[in-house]
Structure formats: C-alpha cells, structure tokens
C-alpha cells in the first residue's frame, strides 16, 4: 500500500491564482482530513469528510473548498490564493469513527507571492 499520497510536493502561486491540492489514499479509509501547518502553530483542521459525498468545515475553512466523490480521493481547492495561505498542507485519513489513528501524507508546501 502507498498509504496517503499528496501532489504536488511544492508549489508557488501568484496572488489571485487558483489550484487544487490532490490527496489519495489506498487503504479504503472512510474518514479524510485536510490540515494546514504554520510555524509554531501546530496543525489546524481545514475540512474533513466522513465518507464519499459528505464533507464538513473544520477550524479554518475560509478560502478553501473540498469535494469527496470517491472513497480514495479528497482534493482541496484554493480559489483566489492569498499570502495568508502560504503554509504546509497535510492530508490524513483513518478507517472509521471507531479507529483513532490518523495516517498522514507527506505534505504539500505552498507559497503564495
């Protein structure tokens, strides 16, 4: 199993551009999450999904959108990128509501200038 994969690894965006961060897991996990990690701030939850077709906002959803059309994929869309969205983005998944361990991808480092 590849686990949780994220693409791209790095990206530089200009202010106002849009992009989609890809996340795929091959463990048949129902729950998936998007976090952002800023220096000295820990991880903040952006959006999460408990299954295909079901998504919900986390702590910091503004400026982002998600969709979950399949169990495997959970893309994160940035519309009108802003410098405040410069961060490292992590996708994570876990099997079900009764499991506790989240499995993390390697991250995408995004810079908006």
What are the residues binding other proteins (CB under 8 A)? 4, 40-45, 48, 50, 58, 90, 92, 94, 96-102, 104-107
14/100 with CB nearer other proteins: 100
Find the shortest distance in angstroms from Cβ 20 to other proteins: 19
CB of 77 to other proteins, least distance (A): 21
Cβ-based nearer residue to other proteins, 4 or 76: 4
Three-state SS sequence of 43-80: EEEEEEEEECCEEEECCCCCCEEECCCCCCECCEEECC
| C-alpha to C-alpha distances, 59 to 16, 19, 48, 69, nearest whole angstrom | 23, 21, 10, 22
What six digits make up the tokens of 71? 């169990």
Task: Name which of 31, 28, 12 is nearest 94 in CA terms.
Answer: 31
> Which residue number, 12 or 57, has a Cβ lying nearer to other proteins?
57
Least distance in Å: CB of 100 to other proteins?
Answer: 6
């Amino acid at each position: 199993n590849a686990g949780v994969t994220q693409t791209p690894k790095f990206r530089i965006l200009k202010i106002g551009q849009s992009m989609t961060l890809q996340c795929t897991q091959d463990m048949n996990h129902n729950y998936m999450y998007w976090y952002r990690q800023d220096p000295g701030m820990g991880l903040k939850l952006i959006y999460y999904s408990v299954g295909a077709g079901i998504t919900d906002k986390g702590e910091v959803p503004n400026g982002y959108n998600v969709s979950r059309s399949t169990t495997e994929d959970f893309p994160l869309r940035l519309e009108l990128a802003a410098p405040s969205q410069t961060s490292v983005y992590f996708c994570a998944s876990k099997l079900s509501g009764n499991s506790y361990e989240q499995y993390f991808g390697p991250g995408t480092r995004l810079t908006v200038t």
